[in-house]
Amino acid sequence: MEKKSVETQENILIAARAIFAQKGLAGARMQEIADTAGINKALLHYYYKNKGKLFEQVFDEALKKLFRPMAVFMADDSELFQKIRNICKHYNEVLIDYPFIPNFVINEINSDPTRILKLLDFEGVLEGKKKTEFQINEAVKAGLIRSIDPRELILNVISMSIFPFAARPIIKELLYENEDLNKVLQARADQVADFIIQSIKL
Amino acid sequence: MEKKSVETQENILIAARAIFAQKGLAGARMQEIADTAGINKALLHYYYKNKGKLFEQVFDEALKKLFRPMAVFMADDSELFQKIRNICKHYNEVLIDYPFIPNFVINEINSDPTRILKLLDFEGVLEGKKKTEFQINEAVKAGLIRSIDPRELILNVISMSIFPFAARPIIKELLYENEDLNKVLQARADQVADFIIQSIKL
DNA sequence: CTCCATTTTAACCATATGGTTAAAAAAAAC
DNA sequence: GTTTTTTTTAACCATATGGTTAAAATGGAG
């Protein structure tokens, strides 16, 4: 019967992820989370003391999902073009499964900038960054790619990988009105990588 | 003394833009808007009946700011490469002045998807779209650019133009910790255009 | 059947918040 | 100086919401 307990807590998390992602910390209602989880408010507070704690757990999860591909990319020892393909694919896989995360994270960081601190201590991203910037600079020197600021390149990669998910409803209405956006986005990983490589290769 | 009245209403709007952009509809407090505007709550409600009305006005403004460059791009009769440079520059100019808008619009649309309807009746975007898609397809046929889905190209343009502003605090911490991000972003319009043109030109 | 963890019921509290009101005060217009 | 508009004061209301509590009910495990 511990099983039931664990299952209930998982249902709460599932509900909380959906509600927080859609409405944010301020807009989410504990009652709605309880309803969505199929339980009542008392039980919700029985497992999660307060809204803030629940939010933090959900938010930290999301943060990790969003920054792990970045950390993996920075630490990746592959050759540059392969590395670019890897991060595009990696982001695409994660965001297909958790499409609400970019908007969620961006939004909540914006509404409470002190949360940026949580980014800073995120494992490995900043150390790997130097390595990757070095690698890009070397590729320029070696005449493998045209001259470009490493940070510009990285920014372009993540912009094209993440933005379509963050702005999903807008993109849908604007460009892919009559199509299954999921399929479009799924096919996009390779296209983005190609687009980038085409731009920088010599 | 109408002047005072107009000035006060403008102060309210300025405050509302800042507060709504940072905290969203649900998170914004009328009291804080009043304080920021330098007036009291009673006067705030004297000029703007309720929170919803005030929000709508601010949101509609933002929507227009975000979609005008898109409409202009779609309707632009310039040659393709120049057209790409134009939209990059146009977006950059707007977003340097109103850097909070992308996050604001994306977030609120996500939190209340019925607001997407407001996009649909936005002037000119959808008509111009066909023309621009046609233009891109012709450029492919003419051997001016490599083969690419017009929508993919458009999506890449707006992703790279808008995302850095939406994710501004993250980008700052991650890539440009010790630099003036405004200057970086200001210089970016031409870089983005070049990046794209490099990728598609033959 | 009995025990124990899980869950519900239902009432309740404190607080924050959007919004209102009426009268007074301040400021400008005439 | 009188009138009109703008603004403040300050109290007030209704409601939503996060959170609590205690007792009852449920249901599986031994």
Summarize pLDDT for A1-12 with one digit per residue, the tens.
Answer: 556 788 999 999
Summarize pLDDT for B153-194 with one digit per residue, the tens.
Answer: 999 999 999 999 999 999 999 999 999 999 999 999 999 999
Packed helices A51-75 and A125-141: angle between N→C axes, nearest 10 degrees: 30
Which nucleotide has the shortest C1'-to-CA distance from A5?
Answer: C6
Report how many helices (DSSP H) and strands (DSSP E) chain A contains, helices first.
Answer: 12, 0
CATH 1.10.357.10-classified regions of chain B: 59-200
CB B62 within 8 A of CB B101: yes
Q: Is B145 helix (H, G, I), strand (E, B) or coil?
A: strand
What average pLDDT does this structure show over A117-127?
Answer: 79
Q: In the structure, what pLDDT confidence band is assigned to residue A59 with cuts at 50, 70 and 90?
A: very high
Q: What is the pLDDT of residue B94?
A: 97
What average pLDDT does this structure show over A112-139?
Answer: 88
Q: What is the pLDDT of residue B140?
A: 98
Report the alpha-carbon distance of residue B161 to residue B90 in Å, rounded: 10
- Higher-pLDDT residue of A162, B117: A162
Report the alpha-carbon distance of residue A168 to residue B10 in Å, rounded: 33
What average pLDDT does this structure show over A76-80?
Answer: 97
The amino acid that residue A199 corresponds to is S
Q: What architecture does CATH give domain B59-200?
A: Orthogonal Bundle (1.10)
Testing the interface with B: which of A196, A199, A201, A202 to mutate, by most B Cβ within 10 A? A199
Report the alpha-carbon distance of residue B49 to residue B47 in Å, rounded: 6
What average pLDDT does this structure show over A116-142?
Answer: 89
Report the alpha-carbon distance of residue B19 to residue B39 in Å, rounded: 15
A154 CA: distance to closest CA in chain B (Å): 9
Report how many helices (DSSP H) and strands (DSSP E) chain B contains, helices first.
Answer: 12, 0
**Average pLDDT score over chain B:** 94
CB B16 within 8 A of CB B58: yes
- Asked whether residue A40's C-beta has any atom of DNA/RNA strand C within 7 A, the reply is yes
What average pLDDT does this structure show over B36-40?
Answer: 96
Residue A154 has pLDDT above 90, yes or no: yes
CATH 1.10.10.60-classified regions of chain A: 1-48
Query: In chain B, whose CA is at the least distance from the CA of A190?
Result: B152
Q: Under an 8 A CB cutoff, do A160 and B158 touch?
A: no
CB A199 within 8 A of CB A179: no
Residue B57 has pLDDT above 80, yes or no: yes
Residue B67 has pLDDT above 60, yes or no: yes
Instruction: Report the 10 Å Cβ neighbour count for B105.
Output: 24
Which nucleotide has the shortest C1'-to-CA distance from B40?
Answer: D8
Q: What is the pLDDT of residue A122?
A: 74
The half-sphere exposure of A95 on its side-chain side, counting CA atoms within 13 A, is 34
Distance of CA B61 to the CA centre of its chain: 10
Summarize pLDDT for B144-163 with one digit per residue, the tens.
Answer: 999 999 999 999 999 999 99
Q: Under an 8 A CB cutoff, do B171 and A192 touch?
A: no
Query: In chain A, whose CA is at the least distance from the CA of B70?
Result: A174
Residue A110 has pLDDT above 90, yes or no: no
- Higher-pLDDT residue of B120, A110: A110
Summarize pLDDT for A27-38 with one digit per residue, the tens.
Answer: 999 999 999 999
Triad A91, A125, A74: Cα angle to 5°: 60
Q: In the structure, what pLDDT confidence band is assigned to residue B3 with cuts at 50, 70 and 90?
A: low
Q: What is the pLDDT of residue A174?
A: 93
* Residue A88 CB partners (closer than 8 Å, separation 6+): A157, A161, A189, A190, A192, A193, A196
CATH classification code of A67-200: 1.10.357.10
Q: In the structure, what pLDDT confidence band is assigned to residue B40 with cuts at 50, 70 and 90?
A: very high
The half-sphere exposure of A49 on its side-chain side, counting CA atoms within 13 A, is 4
- Asked whether residue A43's C-beta has any atom of DNA/RNA strand D within 7 A, the reply is no
CB B91 within 8 A of CB B161: yes
Instruction: Report the 10 Å Cβ neighbour count for B123.
Output: 12
Q: Under CATH, to which class is A1-48 assigned?
A: mainly alpha
Q: What is the pLDDT of residue A119?
A: 78
**Average pLDDT score over chain A:** 94
Report the alpha-carbon distance of residue B195 to residue A153 in Å, rounded: 9
CB A39 within 8 A of CB A11: yes
Distance C4 C1' – A42 CA (angstroms): 19
Phi, psi of B201 (to 5 degrees): -70, 155
Q: In the structure, what pLDDT confidence band is assigned to residue B117 with cuts at 50, 70 and 90?
A: confident
CB B44 within 8 A of CB B33: yes
Query: In chain A, whose CA is at the least distance from the CA of B199?
Result: A199
- The protein residue nearest D6 (Cα–C1') is B5
Report the alpha-carbon distance of residue B71 to residue B69 in Å, rounded: 5
Q: What is the pLDDT of residue A2?
A: 59
- Concatenating the DSSP letter of every residue in A155-188 gives HHHHHHHHHHHHTHHHHHHHT-TTS-HHHHHHTH
CB A109 within 8 A of CB A199: no
Of A43-52, A120-129, B113-122, which one has max mean pLDDT? A43-52
CB B28 within 8 A of CB B51: yes
CB B77 within 8 A of CB B135: no
- Asked whether residue B27's C-beta has any atom of DNA/RNA strand D within 7 A, the reply is no
Distance D19 C1' – B51 CA (angstroms): 26
CB B19 within 8 A of CB B32: yes
Question: What's the first-to-final CA gap in chain A, in angstroms?
Answer: 63
Summarize pLDDT for B128-149 with one digit per residue, the tens.
Answer: 999 999 999 999 999 999 999 9
Residue B2 has pLDDT above 60, yes or no: no
